[in-house]
Amino acid sequence: MKVTDSAQRFGFLVADIQRLFGRRFEQFAQRTLPMTRAQCRLLAYLSVNRGVSQTVLADILETPPQTLARTLERMEEAGWVRRRADARDPRIERLFVTRAAVAQLQIARKLSDDVRDEALHGLTAFEAVQLTQLLQKVRRNLNNVVPTPLDTVVPAMLRRDPGDASGATRTNDSADVTSTRLDAAESTDDGLSGFTDLRPQ
């Protein structure tokens, strides 16, 4: 299918929807969240990639390592991110979200639901589900051809946060951020500006 109008091309349309979704999310978040949309996006990625290294996170987020380092420092000071030395290689720092951050992600998730409802206004329940399923197929197609960081899947022993009193690796529903709920983004190339989901489909 050949489309000559740039505004109707698939890539442009997806990016523009992300941009508008992100702008609307930001309007809500300014009144409710104590963190920026960029920080929300970072936490959303990190919540489904417990124990990922800072280097790999920078690659996933497509942001310069120095920029990410400064962002993580601010978030660590705010109590939203915790760093722990790798059990096998102390030179590597593993990253974890804190319980305080999970609480903020719950708020972000609700805000994203509100934006989603606005975005899907006029669609039937069936159309909304079908749209999500079709987009998931598109993402799977791209996941199959786009290289992913080798360290994205962190071994179970390294996903355990030593600072967690339980000492166990848990899957917390409140931190389980899905792409249909947290898909806000300013654009496809502006770093830490939106939400997405890294989990394999």
Q: Whole-prediction pTM value?
A: 0.65
Q: Determine the pLDDT at residue 173.
A: 34
Contact criterion met (CB below 8 Å) for 115 and 108: no
The 3-state DSSP class for residue 15 equals: helix
Q: Determine the pLDDT at residue 160.
A: 57
Taking only the tens place, the pLDDT of each residue in 139-148 is: 999 989 987 6
Q: Percentage of the chain surpassing pLDDT 70?
A: 71
pLDDT level of residue 126 (50, 70, 90 thresholds): very high
Q: Residue 87 pLDDT more than 60?
A: yes
Taking residues 57-65, what's their average pLDDT? 88
pLDDT level of residue 91 (50, 70, 90 thresholds): confident
Backbone angles phi, psi at 177, to 5 degrees: -95, 120
Residues 6+ apart with CB under 8 A from 49: 57, 60, 152, 154, 198
Taking residues 45-64, what's their average pLDDT? 88
pLDDT level of residue 171 (50, 70, 90 thresholds): very low
| Residue 200, CA distances (Å) to 48, 85, 178, 197 in order | 10, 26, 11, 9
Bridge partners (DSSP) of residue 82 are 96
Q: Determine the pLDDT at residue 177.
A: 32
Backbone angles phi, psi at 96, to 5 degrees: -140, 150
Q: Determine the pLDDT at residue 148.
A: 67
Cα–Cα dist 173/166, whole Å: 17
Q: Residue 29 pLDDT more than 80?
A: yes
Cα–Cα dist 195/197, whole Å: 7
The more confident residue out of 86 and 176 is 86
Q: Determine the pLDDT at residue 20.
A: 96
3-state helix, strand, coil in the chain (%, to 5): 50, 5, 40
Can you list the domains of the chain with their CATH numbers? 6-175 (1.10.10.10)
pLDDT level of residue 49 (50, 70, 90 thresholds): confident
